[in-house]
Amino acid sequence: MEKNKENSKQIILDVAIRLFSKSGFSNVSIREIAEAVGIKSASLYYHFPNKQSIYLGAIEYSFSNKAVLFTEVLESDKSALERLELFIYKFTEIMSNDEDFRRLLQREMLDGDEERLKFMADKVFKEQFKAIGQLIKQVSPECDSHMLTISISSLILHHLETAPIRKLLAGHKPEHDQPDYIARHVYKLLTNGIISHE
């Protein structure tokens, strides 16, 4: 019985991720989620007390499997610089392959209220952000690890988010859209400039 409840919850979250990523928090109703799952709205409330809890659950659930992969990279026995390189490649690959999660993040940056943003900071990203900051400090003790952690993720995400227009700009090459190429570019920027001159 408990396993069925957990499976039902995951199905709801999978559907919610897709709907929220396409339309945003305000434009998705409980009824729409229930219809997309194939259940009645009342059944949805058996698993979640309200729409906000579904939304926050969707964000947390969407990131949870990624966090495991990041932790494996960050806690490997490689050197700090090798772990940073692996993280950049893994982050780029994962974000490139999960457009729904990327859209959820974009929507929250634009429309998120303080409660949802605080939830994301405390419950979703806190441990990973801290681990990356500590890794950066090992690579470059003098740097501002907070700013550099934000810069790494921003560089990668912006390359992915601007793909539709980048293809139309002068100098674009097909390889610019490949995750490995983007990761290598970001890693070179850091190692050839930012980290060595912080």
Q: How far is CA 28 from CA 10, 24, 36, 143, 171, in A?
A: 18, 7, 11, 42, 39
Q: What is the C-alpha end-to-end distance of the chain, expressed in Å? A: 56
- Tens of pLDDT along 119-161? 899 988 999 999 999 999 999 898 899 999 999 999 999 999 9
- Considering the chain, what percentage of its residues have pLDDT values greater than 90? 69
Check pLDDT > 60 for residue 194: no
* Domain count within the chain: 1
Residue 161 located in a structural domain:
yes
Which residue segment(s) compose the domain that 149 sits in? 58-197
Evaluate whether 14 touches 47 at the Cβ level (below 8 Å). Answer: no
Residue 48 located in a structural domain:
no
For residue 31, the tally of other CB atoms under 10 A from its CB is: 11
Structure tokens at 159: 């390359």
Task: Enter the pTM of the model.
Answer: 0.86
**Which CATH number do you get for residue 123?**
1.10.357.10
> pLDDT at position 177, please?
94
Check pLDDT > 60 for residue 74: yes
Query: How many angstroms separate the CA atoms of 153 and 103, rounded?
Result: 14
Q: How far is CA 19 from CA 13, 169, 175, in A?
A: 10, 31, 31
> pLDDT at position 182, please?
97
Check pLDDT > 80 for residue 20: yes
Query: How many angstroms separate the CA atoms of 163 and 182, rounded?
Result: 11
Residue 184 located in a structural domain:
yes
Residue 106 located in a structural domain:
yes
Query: How many angstroms separate the CA atoms of 156 and 162, rounded?
Result: 10
Residue 53 located in a structural domain:
no
Check pLDDT > 70 for residue 195: no
Mean pLDDT of 176-185: 96
Query: How many angstroms separate the CA atoms of 61 and 98, rounded?
Result: 13
> pLDDT at position 1, please?
39
Residue 28 located in a structural domain:
no
Evaluate whether 100 touches 21 at the Cβ level (below 8 Å). Answer: yes
How confident is the prediction for the chain on average, in pLDDT? Answer: 90
Residue 41 located in a structural domain:
no
Residue 15 located in a structural domain:
no
Amino acid at the residue 146? H
Q: Which ranges constitute the DSSP H helices of 38-168?
A: 41-47, 51-74, 80-97, 99-111, 114-119, 126-139, 145-161, 163-166
Q: How confident is the model at residue 16 (pLDDT cuts 50, 70, 90)?
A: very high
> pLDDT at position 184, please?
96
